[in-house]
Amino acid sequence: MSNKVTVLGSLNVDTILRIPRLPQPGETLKMDDIGVAGGGKGANQAISAARSKSHVTFIGGVGNDVQGEMMLKLLKEDGININNVAKLNEGTGQAFILLQESGENSIVIYGGANQAIKTTVIQNAMNDIKDSDFLVAQFETPLEVTNEAFKLARELNVKTILNPAPATDILDELKKNIDLIIPNETEAELLTGIKVVDEDTCRQAADKLIDQGINNVIITLGKQGAYYKTKDGVCELVPAFKVKAIDTTAAGDTFIGALVSKLDTSFSNLREAIIYASKASSLAVQRLGAIPSIPYKDDVEKQLNSK
Residue 120 annotated as lining a ligand binding site: no
List, in sequence order, every residue forming a beta bridge with 134; answer none if it has no partner. 5, 159
Residue 220 annotated as lining a ligand binding site: yes
Task: Please confirm, yes or no, whether 253 is among the known catalytic residues.
Answer: yes
Residue 222 annotated as lining a ligand binding site: yes
Indicate the residue type of 148.
Answer: E
Residue 248 annotated as lining a ligand binding site: no
The active-site residue out of 169, 179, 253, 299 is 253
Residue 39 annotated as lining a ligand binding site: no
Quickly count helices (H) and strands (E) in the chain: 11, 13
Residue 13 annotated as lining a ligand binding site: yes
Are residues 220 and 240 in contact, defined by beta-carbon separation less than 8 angstroms?
A: no
Q: Calculate the dihedral angle through the C-alpha atoms of 13, 7, 150, 249, rounding to the nearest 10 degrees.
A: -50
Residue 289 annotated as lining a ligand binding site: yes
Which candidate, 112, 153, 219, places its Cα nearest to that of 6?
Answer: 153
Q: How far from the centroid of its chain's Cα atoms is residue 20's Cα?
A: 27
Residue 223 annotated as lining a ligand binding site: yes
Q: Calculate the dihedral angle through the C-alpha atoms of 298, 104, 186, 167, rounding to the nearest 10 degrees.
A: -80
Residue 12 annotated as lining a ligand binding site: yes
Active site residues: 253
Output the known binding site for K(+).
247, 249, 284, 287, 289, 293
Output the known binding site.
12-14, 40-44, 140, 184, 220-225, 247, 249, 252-253, 284, 287, 289, 293
Output the known binding site for ATP.
184, 220-225, 252-253
Output the known binding site for substrate.
12-14, 40-44, 140, 253
